[in-house]
Structure 1
């Protein structure tokens, strides 16, 4: 039975184990020594300061230490470039990340703010090869705290959710670097991560009732399986079918050869999703053809290797924030996927088809992407479509708000937020498939976060009113403990135990610092993969091709370029698709920045 963790707002104590102190001291001294010739100031946060900060009982001394920590927070905000998307002469990310990792060990408000800053920074910064040593340092520190401290707790803490979210962003970034062939020189760093990743493999049972965290942990493990060239024991902890042979749950698409001998094969769905993004960005008239080819690859979602499919949805979701046709394609993909999965499982034919054990991953990822579209799409029409759907909007909305239980189980009419809510709520039961209850959980969980994000925004009052009423009816009518738990977990993640249904008119300061969704990383990934898959004739891949600085102490650029030539990134496409898509060299228009809305909000 899974461990019953109750979401509470508590902070775990500073890690004082000798191993972690040595780990931080080693990395801290390494980074400090490498940057000593150009450091602008010395770090004020040390292990001694952290222990003193957390253990002192003297009110006067406590206030003095708190003031020092607050000043360090202010300095880190500037060095992280939180207001400039990580760019500017004042930005020093490796130094700032290092100090933020130390600050995150101080109890209370400092810990919360430090982790919030780290999450925002990892979300919005560009991909830069020079960031990799510091990124590995952050990864090692976060994994240590997630594996060796948080997992030992009886209850689920808000800090545990923050650590999982940060780890998810870190490993998504590492995977993009991997696709560019930039991790070959970082084998010692990857080896240092493996003890923590091995421990994390056995954490699945603790998170079974919390799909949002479980999904983030699965992302970390699946990516590490690829970039570390090792296999994790998914069969014993993550397989929903119980204990199975590990080989039955591993990704078979990679083949028998090591990755460094055969390269990483990008599946059709991801390739076409990046192609669609490129068409939208370049206003290419062949977008419709690309989307048709993309839909023809819909069976890729049913493969056991779900990581590429997840990235494909992420990239296509970014295109859907700009283009209605892309949004329709995204929603059609998931409608077909959910219908196919549940139909096959209902007929008990899963033994004769692909393994669908990871189907809930795809549905959960999709609901998160759809929620981000509701909040950050470029036009109000796109946002409303993601929430309500393309057709029969009024009837669908009325049915959901009233939470009517139909006499017959409804068909899946669409995959908008409200359509999925209606569909999953009609099928929820104690013995329902995990796709049903985890999909339902994810929608309610994201609706709470969406409602919180929209607080105080007068221009979005009508939009938020629909979300608020839907949540209120769900809270009143839905008695399933798992779904009620989704509301509590979302509140805990937001560090806000106040009932959201009593705070409808509450105003929220614009500088609250808590980011409920990832606003920029999907956009960064889409742009970077577009440059990698479809580079223009006269351009290179600028996000990752910066010259190394001395503090990296890695191989020289010449050797790194030689290793790039050895990298094999395979694109399996037909001659027709290549002919349609390969010759895009249109003039690149200025890129759209997530969160920038080009149309007045009309509700």
Structure 2
């Protein structure tokens, strides 16, 4: 689990050392000012308390400070609303997030518990405009801990894994606010993040062997780059210029295939995934048509704008937890993606033109999503299908043995966990493709966490037993150090003294440990994007901005309602005889929603079909022109050979001149 962090440490130390005291002081003053405006109590977690907690050597004082820190933990849990999914009168997320991030500076178990609480809250909390200042403060604190503390350690620590997971959730939330256009007044906050993001861009040498950490880092950098370019109208300096140019070229090529949303172009793939999720939520009969259109955009997974693809998989993964057709669509998308990219890379086609270094992010993202479906899908059939697959996998399970010494490589049949496990394990080698070993790494890493999550659950005993058998074979027979690292890192992240490979089941008491997977953030993202892209489907559209409630409106609500009732105008048919009654009852809300969704989908589908027809016509015309040129070249070659052999310039089907015929007869 150790990785030596070499020359980058001095570079990062120079970048970040001058920021700590100044930024913490400024953030503390800003938060105090914001809290005074909303009439909230001041923080009781002070810098003096944190210093005393970390530096004391007196056992009595240490016990007293530990007891005080536990009281702070209990109060933060109540403010975060961990048992009520972040809702309730006692919940105030901005204050609680700030208190928890301060409390996370304490050493030992208090730090671990504070980070676990923050991760759980960021996972399940709803979106609110008033959260943005606290989100930026927490983002700055997390990036500081990564760049100025974690990078200076000579070994990899489990705290780094937690920090990158929290950073992923924070920047995912900031990106959703960005899509809504709410970051215009937070340009200064984005500027303050810039030094840390520049330092974080140098972390590839540190984390490239650990895809679970490096994928979160890449997501933070990509979302930051987009928000930086759109909000500050400046090119990002913490992303390589080559990748930025390629990204621009591909965007210009696919401009007509994207939706413009607040200055950001949302791909058709993401749009159709959100549409599918909306159909599942509203029980719409248009789902099959939407999924058919979604499959037609499967090639967009191979575009370099991988952020949209990752969000699309996240949204359709949430729909797959509820619907079997969506699960099949998700698995078909990834199966086609893997087959296409591996065949291209094996053949070596276009390797000089396109950069395949980002493909692993899509594959690793999918391994996490399919593991979450196995755990949290609403029915046992969905969970079983995600793990085993749609086909009869009895023979597949017999083949899934690392003890086999045959060199035959398995074929990719579908994107279930067992099928992918068999496929990647058969192709793993020292010189294998990056997608192969990272996909294998992601499966093993998530299987360890799934086994830990299912401890003590008697209803899921069969699934946990299959997971245990698969992991046991990997542990006993897989010699690749990268895959062994996946097991070690997952165990270290869980920080669980119990060996997950023991043959006896362990009873786990409730509310122990941390959340190993994101249970709610996918649903929050899908719900928010559906309201943003399809506002007509919901009569009561909830905006992210907090409504302003005036004092007199709160004080006299009944009088306002009575005055509005008096203004209602009543009329009868006798007064308006021209009015005709409808022959059929008015459609309900869901019928209207289905019709609106069908209109939107048909409109965009017709536009896309027109574009495709034009492209096909241009392509056919170009092919026809190329064939005519080839025929002309071929004919000229034939004539040249005929002239060399027969010394004649006439065509084979042409008669010679009359004078030539007479001369030939005389001869």
Regarding TM over 0.5, the answer is yes
Hey, what does 1:577 align to over in structure 2?
605
State how far apart, in whole Å, the 1-side matches of 2:115 and 2:249 are. 36
Aligned partners of 2:410 and 2:423 also within 8 Å: yes
In structure 1, the partner of 2:500 is 500
Larger Rg: 2
**Cα pair 1:97 1:138 within 8 Å, conserved:** yes
Q: Which residue of 2 aligns with 1:102?
A: 102
Contact 2:179 2:261 in 1 (8 A): no
Secondary structure, aligned partner of 2:501:
helix
Give 2:664's aligned residue. Answer: none
Aligned to 2:81: 81
Cα pair 2:79 2:92 within 8 Å, conserved: yes
SS at match of 2:236: coil
Give the distance between the partners of 1:548 and 1:172, measured in 2 at CA.
Answer: 26
Matched residue, 2:164 = 164
CA shift in 2, pair 1:254/1:169, >3 Å: same
Separation in structure 2 between the aligned mates of residue 402 and residue 426 of structure 1, nearest angstrom = 8
Q: How does 1:193-592 map to 2 (within 5 A)?
A: 193-229=193-229, 230-235=235-240, 245-247=242-244, 250-254=247-251, 263-351=263-351, 354-401=354-401, 403-496=403-496, 498-502=498-502, 504-536=504-536, 539=539, 541-547=541-547, 575=603, 577=605
RMSD of the alignment, in Å? 2.6
Give the deviation of 1:36 after TM superposition. Answer: 2.9
Q: Which residue is 1:151 aligned to? A: 151
- Return closer, same or farther for 1:538/1:273 CA change in 2, 3 Å cut-off: closer
Q: Distance in 2 between matches of 1:38 and 1:246?
A: 44
In the aligned structure 2, how far is the partner of 1:134 from the partner of 1:376? 30
SS at match of 1:266: strand
| CA shift in 2, pair 1:51/1:281, >3 Å | same
The offset of 1:232, in angstroms, is: 4.8
Aligned to 1:188: 188
Query: Structure 1: how far apart are the matches of 2:238 and 2:35?
Result: 39
- Residue 151 of structure 1 deviates from its aligned partner by 1.3
Checking the alignment, whether the CA contact within 8 Å between 2:401 and 2:473 is kept in structure 1 is: yes
**Structure 1 CA distance for aligned equivalents of residues 269 and 98 of structure 2:** 37
- Once the two structures are TM-superposed, the CA of residue 504 in structure 1 deviates from its matched residue by 4.0
SS in 1 for 2:284: coil
Contact 1:130/1:548 (<8 A) preserved: no
Closer, same or farther in 2 for the Cα pair 1:576/1:118, shift >3 Å? closer
8 Å contact kept, 2:35–2:42: no
Query: Deviation of residue 147 (structure 1)?
Result: 1.1
TM-score by length of 2: 0.77
1:418 & 1:319 partners in 2: Cα distance? 21
Structure 2: 5+ residue stretches without partners: 7-15, 230-234, 551-599, 609-667
Runs of 4+ aligned residues of structure 1 deviating over 6 Å after TM superposition are 259-262
SS of the residue 2:265 aligns to: strand
Distance 1:225 1:389 in 2: 38
Counterpart-to-counterpart distance in 2, 1:142 and 1:531: 30
- Tell me how far apart the structure 1 counterparts of residues 54 and 17 of structure 2 sit (CA, whole Å): 15
What's the TM-score, normalizing by structure 1?
0.85
Distance 1:21 1:488 in 2: 36
For 1:40 and 1:302, the matched residues in 2 are separated by 49
| Aligned residue pairs, count | 540
By relative contact order (CA 8 Å, sep 6+), the higher-ranking structure is 1
Structure 1: state its 5+ residue gaps.
7-15, 236-243, 551-571, 581-603
